[in-house]
Structure 1
Amino acid sequence: MSAHKHDSTKDHRSNASGERTAAGTKRLPQQDPSGLLALQCSVGNAAVVRMIQRTDGIADRVRQRNNASRAHSPRLREQAAGGRGQPSYTDAPERGFWDGNSRFPYRAGVQDNLFNPLLDAATGLYNCPRCNKQVPRHPARPSDNYITVEHKIPFRQWIMDHAEPDQDGKITTDAASKAYSDESNLQALCRDCNSSLGGDQNTFV
């Protein structure tokens, strides 16, 4: 009888590495929740970690680009020397502030002021001051040439140099819109001439 005596110490054991039931199956050890999170970050979520790192890298490049643009602005350098806050792009779009890229509709009367002096009353067409072609104000077909507005200095640079910043040094959408429609930086050209100077196709108004 003693030879077949049940040894409970072999069937019911527990230690730091786990437990065995009476059936001999191993029960998983309890884990520290913080340890599981660490394991997920190192193994299960490695792809997510890499994606976040790539996103942070892109954001850094955007901020560096915006800082470089501001550094080349004569107006901003002058303001910095005078101790005024510098206008800036916002890292993320904020309501009421220019995002550093958006265009605006031209303010009322701007197009008429630019186009009317070029109007040929006899033909009802506009004379392009660069190529002397006569073109309509509105094209009958998408492929037709027509009169457009061109920024002499690229509008993003012009806004950065001339838009009045708010007290925090940011450019509001209203200030950016005013600078965008500043007639001293605008001229009327036909679409073909505008495009040849580097204007964006299909964005002329």
Structure 2
Amino acid sequence: MSLLVVGSIALDTVKTPVEEHADLLGGSASYAALGASFFTPVNLVGVVGDDFPESEFDFWKSHRIDTTGVQRVNGKTFRWSGEYAWDLNTRETRSVALNVFETFSPELPANYRATLFVLLANIAPKLQLHVLDQMERPRFVVADTMDLWIETARADLDALLRRVDLLILNDSEAREMTKETSLIRAGRKIRGYGPRYVAIKKGEHGAL
């Protein structure tokens, strides 16, 4: 039994108060796939540029991550640069370059379409919907979202919520989506939008 993971793949430059490193493997799909690989085989879908190291594909494969669905196209890989404060919870984005990710349209290989469990990592809701349109009959669908999509793509997001089992977002996003101050009320309200379950992240304090 495998898991389908769809989302961003990036090369990150990260600075902390102690060190700074460039060209680190990043992106929502990369981390989700790696974490899940400790429990089940993963089918990964994303896009990278011709500057993306082949060694990262070898790394994924060593963790039971199938990369058939990762498109390599001409251009540069999505890049993010940020700086973290001492608490490692506060960060400042220094630069973002979408590059090949800007025109990404996830296309599922034929052998991915019958996957029963799906994780739609944080990408535009219309792309998450496009993935679901290609699936046969998934048993459980998880979607992650963020404030950008709540503010700019609410209609697509609302359509997505009616097709997922679990929605993941953070506390400020839950309040923004529902206009509720209480996270308990916010979670219940979001369940009314469609998902059976809601996970509200609270940073260093865990999740609800």
Q: TM-score, normalised by structure 1?
A: 0.17
Q: Which has the larger radius of gyration?
A: 1
The structure with the largest helix share of the pair is 1
Q: TM-score, normalised by structure 2?
A: 0.16
